[in-house]
Amino acid sequence: MKFHVRHALCLAFLLTALLTSPARCGHPDRVVDFNAGWRFSLQSEDAYSKTHDDSHWRELTLPHDWSVESPFQENLEGCTGYLPGGIGWYRKHFSKTVSQDELVYLHFDGVYNRAEVWLNGTRLGFHPYGYTPFYFDITSLLNSSGKDNVLAVKVDHSRYADSRWYTGSGIYRDVKLITTNKLHVPIDGTFVTTSITSPNQASGEIQIEIQNKFDTEKQFELTTTISDDLGAVVATETSTCQVAASATQTFHQSFAIQSPRLWSLDTPHLYTATTSVTQNDRVVDRYQTRFGIREIRFDPENGFFLNGKRTAIKGVCLHHDGGLVGAAVPEGVWKRRLAKLKSAGCNAIRTAHNPASKEFLNLCDEMGLLVQEEFYDEWDNPKDKRLNMVEQHDDRITRGHAEFFQEYAERDLKATMRRDRNHPCIIQWSIGNEIEWTYPRYRQASGYFDADASGNYFWTPPHLIPEEIKERFRETPAGKYVLAETARKLSRWTKEMDTTRPVVSNCILPSVSHVTGYADALDVVGYSYRRVVYDYSRTHFPDTIVMGTENVPQWHEWKAVMQRPFVAGLFLWTGVDYMGESHEDWPRKSVLSGLLDTAGFEKPSFHMMKTLWSDDPHVFLCTQPLADSKYQLDPASGVLVGKTSGDWERRTWIWHDVNRHWNYQPEEEIVVEVIANSDRVELFLDDRSLGIKSLSDFPDRIFKWLVPFSAGTLEARFVECDVTHSDRLSTAGEPTEIILSSDTDLLRSDGKDVAHIVAQLVDADRNPVRNQELEITFEIEGNVTKLGVDNGSGITVDEYQSDRVPTHQGRCLTIVQSKRTPTQAVIRARAGKLRSKPMTIEVK
């Protein structure tokens, strides 16, 4: 990594560009999709024997999550969403012919969790962590005839409450079969770094591992060709090389690109490095590395810079489940969600609290989204899966990855980085999340949790100076593990793999972390719900780069960043509602703080952040009875004010209750709220003006009117704008029809592509009905897979794997997925006597 020390230790992290797709080789069989043709059974009986009878097992195509296929059950654990775990077995029969010069690898992108793998009855190995890639060389175990190979995978998720959120169960990410020459680039064996040397030129270096599995030394030509995203060749480099027998050697090639097309948020240009290994004019291996050219820099004075331009990080945290699909999330589900978040001005994702899938990172590369990739939620000591913080329960089902951390941490971290270090989207490596809770001396040293402590942890700045905190820390015993030592170890491993990006961690007790060596192991210190520490850190630790790495989705959090250029940005909790973290709160099955709900529908916080993060004109209208609201009418001024003065500055995760309809009792006093990025907004009822209001009069950035209800159409419009920007709500009658809409009418026949079909109740005038709910049944014809149903409500516990679901705000969703044959799918919806018109989706 290049550290440029400027004045107050400005820390600069230049460049890199990175690999987003696994190897592809000279012959088309190097990487083969190995997801089809599996058999599955939920059973505890050992089933690794080649002769085990699996003829009656269920046939399926991966990825697969068996937990989400089950009904929600109140007697299960809320921490993981009231869904079960168990032990599952997967088996696959296949043929594979291998020449004497070839090797075959079996690659898993993610299995949750505690996976054991056998081939033809021989155990290949054990992989406990559910979020990291792993692979095996299976060459010697394949049948020489090429026929009758049996692969068996045991997934032991019987400790199903081993996390604080929904994890899913099974082989929930892609499986690949990789065939190479014995002289080859190993899996994830390249690393591209670039730098912008002038406005018209970029230079780069590709680090290439070559593995020689022959028993003799091999000589070869190593050629790398760089192509842009239009397919034009922009650079080529060739070297003559040799590798000793049974050895692996790393080679370096340099290149220059004229007039480079930079990877940025708005123009995420990508390049491909195609590396060929040639012997006697024959290409024996070919490997492709996708990367982007961009420059990143973090500065303690002015935050984050992308390609030399200060760029505020407008981020959200995301867990890995996709609502009704559980953890086995099709790419199209992520693409819809990420596109919506980006439309709101979001430019960054934090993968909370574990590495993401390869597919997810590919999308971020292609869509222009920055990524903070996180490794762990717990290190040496376990967290309480039900109550967060330090462990307070001690039962088998909640034993998490901490018990494997000492043995597996380094290999998991480095395997993740090898896979992901070529992604231009990744700008930070996060080694941990709120780790301080698991080391009790941190909590005690903070001073917030003393019996006589005054103030609120969330809103009160540290009341102890650093020296006092440090002294309190020294007075407590260290315990078996020392947090700062583990942090230094993780940081060292990270930098052994990549020095082009900073190491960060999400610190929940930063006033302690700053003085105990923990923060010293980090390049950027992330604050978890501690915006009140920004100024404290600026005073006491001015050379430290800081940012919010977990923040509530409210205006006051972004305001704090806008007022402080030294804060690089933030990550809101969270971008999308996710299952879990609902201990003893049945029927709530998910966390409700997302900008989008589990069905991917926008929530009020989405619209607030869009008005803050996006320059596109935007207005959003919602309502609520005065009696149910957070407001009261000030008798002196006649304006609406908060029942508690300044309460908007202390709102946390959940947006206050509002309605997206205009249906009330005649003359009922209704608060009309408008969220807009306009200086002035005018409200109308049936084209009768109810007055113009100015944003400057509302410190919470929510325009407000008190309106006696009268049926009609309520409309909020920008004032003094060349183009009309407005939002409207009309009084709806009884539902008379169901309207279907889809994000696409054409699917690829690849067995992966998906369509999201939304059903909306409407009245006779086709006004959306959002104040009444009906159970909708979807009827789907055609050779497609029905993935399930959802309405976005966090308290609906109807089965996802169904064809029927009650509406929420008058709407619901189903997702269909293509198979590998062309077809025409016809979708209908019904609710009692109500019917939709048929919707047709072509699969080609």
In this predicted structure, the answer to whether residue 27 has a pLDDT above a threshold of 60 is no
The C-alpha torsion from 377 through 379 and 385 to 389, rounded to 10°, is -90
Tens digits of residue pLDDT in 317-356 = 999 999 999 999 999 999 999 999 999 999 999 999 999 9
Tens digits of residue pLDDT in 192-223 = 999 999 889 999 999 999 999 999 999 999 99
Give residue 295's pLDDT.
Answer: 97
Give residue 677's pLDDT.
Answer: 95
pTM (2 d.p.):
0.94
Give residue 13's pLDDT.
Answer: 41
Tens digits of residue pLDDT in 32-83 = 999 999 999 998 889 999 999 999 999 999 999 999 999 999 999 999 999 9
CA–CA separation, 745 and 754 (whole Å): 10
Tens digits of residue pLDDT in 256-267 = 999 999 999 999
Give residue 454's pLDDT.
Answer: 60
Confidence of residue 113 (pLDDT cuts 50, 70, 90): very high
Mean pLDDT of 81-94: 97
Supply the Cα-derived Rg of the chain in whole angstroms.
28
Which has the closest alpha carbon to 67: 319, 318, 324? 324
Q: Is 80 helix (H, G, I), strand (E, B) or coil?
A: helix
CA–CA separation, 593 and 576 (whole Å): 8
Tens digits of residue pLDDT in 501-510 = 999 999 999 9
In this predicted structure, the answer to whether residue 722 has a pLDDT above a threshold of 70 is no
Least confident of 23-27, 69-73, 554-558: 23-27
Percent of the chain with pLDDT over 90: 89
Give residue 448's pLDDT.
Answer: 86
In this predicted structure, the answer to whether residue 4 has a pLDDT above a threshold of 90 is no
CA–CA separation, 389 and 559 (whole Å): 28
Contact 167, 397 (CB under 8 A): no
Mean pLDDT of 514-539: 96
Tens digits of residue pLDDT in 459-504 = 889 989 999 999 999 999 988 999 999 999 999 999 999 999 999 9
Report the DSSP pairing between strands 713-718 and 348-351: unpaired
Q: Which two tokens stand for residue 821?
A: 């044959």
Give residue 388's pLDDT.
Answer: 82
In this predicted structure, the answer to whether residue 146 has a pLDDT above a threshold of 90 is no
Confidence of residue 450 (pLDDT cuts 50, 70, 90): confident
| Average pLDDT score over the chain | 93
Contact 275, 286 (CB under 8 A): yes
Give residue 451's pLDDT.
Answer: 59
CA–CA separation, 759 and 737 (whole Å): 10
Percent of the chain with pLDDT over 70: 96
Contact 289, 270 (CB under 8 A): no
Mean pLDDT of 557-574: 97
Contact 782, 824 (CB under 8 A): yes
Mean pLDDT of 737-757: 97
Residue 747, H or E segment: strand 746-747
In this predicted structure, the answer to whether residue 15 has a pLDDT above a threshold of 70 is no
Give every CB contact of residue 679 below 8 A, 6+ residues apart in sequence.
694, 695, 696, 719
Give residue 458's pLDDT.
Answer: 85
